[in-house]
Amino acid sequence: HPLEIQSLFYSALLCAREMLAPEDGSVDLIRALNNRLVALSFHIREYYWVDLKKLNEIYRYKTEEYSYDAVNKFNIYPDQISSWLVEWMPNKGGYLIGNLQPAHMDFRFFSLGNLWSVISSIATTDQSHAILDLIESKWGDLVADMPFKICYPALEGQEWQIITGSDPKNTPWSYHNGGSWPTLLWQLTVASIKMNRPEIAAKAVEVAEKRISRDKWPEYYDTKRGRFIGKQARLFQTWSIAGYLVAKLLLADPSKAKILTTEEDSELVNAFSCMISANPRRKRGRKDLKQTYIV
């Protein structure tokens, strides 16, 4: 269940609910949408989130726990924590991991999934700010000479051989394997404006415009810092140009970003809080629900 699919699906559910008129024929469908939204937001916020505190919790996980009170619900082995992550995780900030399956966590940072989680509000307000904190802290890795890294870090060595099948297009720090994609500028801008931190996007746009026009608007960039035009990148790409233009226009008029963002739904937040307080491992206040959700 890749993060970017989850966050885009969450947005699709919200849009679908907006288009439904509240009448007798749609009551069951609206209830089903609300149930799915609550379950999805709970799952992502609780199990995909990682910061230094959470990482230390995973580091001390006990395995083979199967009761309702189990802390390690997905039987994750602490040895799965990669050495790069131990060094990379900043003291301030966090992010949503790329994927979660039984006995496996993909700890890589996937940009689209994290940025869209901020935009769609599948991440909490605190998590959204923490994601932007991490981007600022790891600017040299995620932005460097050309924003924005599609994922971090790249798969290398035997891991690259096994997972990509030695794909010559997805060599380390190229294309979908750690390449830098200018089209991600607009998602970064929307997320930054939503959290009232437009200076992050403005700084990234300033980095991009130093060379993106001179480089003839390539599809993506290669190398760890995004210094080279991608070895198979097409030039004069509409989405590279559009990503830059949308970012510039939104920074000029931040109010326009509201048509692309979603604020937290108070009823979904209440339902989520009740699910948290029902967890025997947590002690949080229960809020009254205006509506009943079956999850």
289: Cβ contacts below 8 Å, ≥ 6 apart: 267, 270, 271, 274
Its pTM stands at 0.89
Residue 90, Cα to own-chain centre: how many angstroms? 17
Report which of 98, 102, 101 is spatially closest to residue 117, judged by C-alpha positions: 98
Report which of 242, 203, 200 is spatially closest to residue 219, judged by C-alpha positions: 242
The reply to whether 68 falls in a domain is no
The reply to whether 198 falls in a domain is yes
164: Cβ contacts below 8 Å, ≥ 6 apart: 155, 170, 177
Please state, in angstroms and rounded to a whole number, the distance separating the CA atoms of residues 182 and 201. 12
Integer CA distances (angstroms), 70 to 28, 45, 63, 66, 118, in order:
34, 18, 9, 6, 29
Per-residue pLDDT tens listing for the chain (295 residues): 899 999 999 999 999 998 988 777 788 898 999 999 999 999 999 999 999 998 988 887 777 666 666 676 777 777 888 889 999 999 999 999 999 887 788 999 999 999 999 999 999 999 999 999 999 999 999 999 999 999 999 999 999 999 899 999 999 999 999 999 999 999 999 999 999 999 999 999 999 999 999 999 999 999 999 999 999 999 999 999 999 999 999 999 999 999 999 988 777 767 666 666 666 555 444 444 445 444 4
HEC secondary structure over the chain: CCHHHHHHHHHHHHHHHHHCCCCHHHHHHHHHHHHHHHHHHHHHHHHCEEEHHHHHHHHCCCCCCCCCCCCCCCCCCHHHCCHHHHHHCCCCCEEEEEEEECCEEEEEEEHHHHHHHHHHCCCCHHHHHHHHHHHHHCHHHHCCCCCCECEECCCCHHHHHHHHCCCCCCCCCECCECCECHHHHHHHHHHHHHCCCHHHHHHHHHHHCCCCCCCCCCCCEECCCCCEECCCCCCCCHHHHHHHHHHHHHHHCHHHHHHCCCCCCHHHHHHHHHHHHCCCCCCCCCCCCCCCCCC
The reply to whether 194 falls in a domain is yes
The reply to whether 11 falls in a domain is no
Number of structural domains the chain divides into: 1
pLDDT value at residue 284: 40
The reply to whether 166 falls in a domain is yes
The reply to whether 197 falls in a domain is yes
The reply to whether 183 falls in a domain is yes
Please state, in angstroms and rounded to a whole number, the distance separating the CA atoms of residues 142 and 225. 8
Which domain does 191 fall in, by range?
138-264
| pLDDT tens digit sequence for 181-202 | 999 999 999 999 999 999 999 9
Instruction: Report yes or no: 6 and 116 within 8 Å, Cβ to Cβ.
Output: no
Burial class (CB in 10 A: 0-12, 13-18, 19+), 157: exposed
The reply to whether 162 falls in a domain is yes
